[in-house]
Chain A
Amino acid sequence: AQSVTQPDIHITVSEGASLELRCNYSYGATPYLFWYVQSPGQGLQLLLKYFSGDTLVQGIKGFEAEFKRSQSSFNLRKPSVHWSDAAEYFCAVVPKFGNEKLTFGTGTRLTIIP
């Protein structure tokens, strides 16, 4: 069955420290991959997406993600977090062919400490 896994429910990092949020997927073929961010009380905003080509993709707010086919992973990174990065982060995938259902991971809540 197709699935998306975000193994970390909650992560706490210090302001200025680096960040990596993990995402693993289980699909028959490489799907389209997305990272979304949700601030409290808000909808979801797209951070970045991977369709094909360069496996390191740049997004908004200084985020980047690296697609690793061998590991079925699409981890999100930021070199230096800011207090405003505190939010919930969702990885999402959709198959390139077949059904159009976008499947989300369960999310990782990021807390920033001074």
Chain B
Amino acid sequence: DAGITQSPRYKITETGRQVTLMCHQTWSHSYMFWYRQDLGHGLRLIYYSAAADITDKGEVPDGYVVSRSKTENFPLTLESATRSQTSVYFCASWGQRNSPLHFGNGTRLTVT
């Protein structure tokens, strides 16, 4: 099915562990984004990518790593998870700026 898929939908991990959230899109969109959503903060941009092998920091990049070796995939890694990274994470893709952003259904991450 065409679209943008995030996995897993739910994840519980312990403080200090490494965890990777996956994002896959089938449109061959150039741009991909990772946002986190927290109560009172709306959606905050973590990292984004304009194309394969091109990534850039967003508003809240500390503690996160991204890679984009293929256009369709944009994994987000928490190198050493902290409780403050408990959040809902959304991946999105974008063909061009005068078109809407397409969102995945999110990953709810709990760090204990």
Contacts and interface: CB of A to CB of B under 8 A. Distances in A.
A46 interface: yes
Nearest to A108: B42
A50 to B, nearest CB: 10
Contacts, number: 55
B105 A42 contact: yes
Contacts of A45: 103
Contacts of A96: 97-98
Given A44-B90, A90-B43, A51 B48 contact: no
Interface residues of B, number: 23
Contacts of B104: 43
A90 B90 contact: no
A42 B31 CA distance: 21
Given A104-B43, A106-B41, A43 B103 contact: yes
Interface of A: 6, 32, 34, 36, 42-46, 49, 51, 90, 92, 94-96, 100-107
A-B pairs, 3 with minimum CB distance: A106-B42, A43-B103, A46-B100
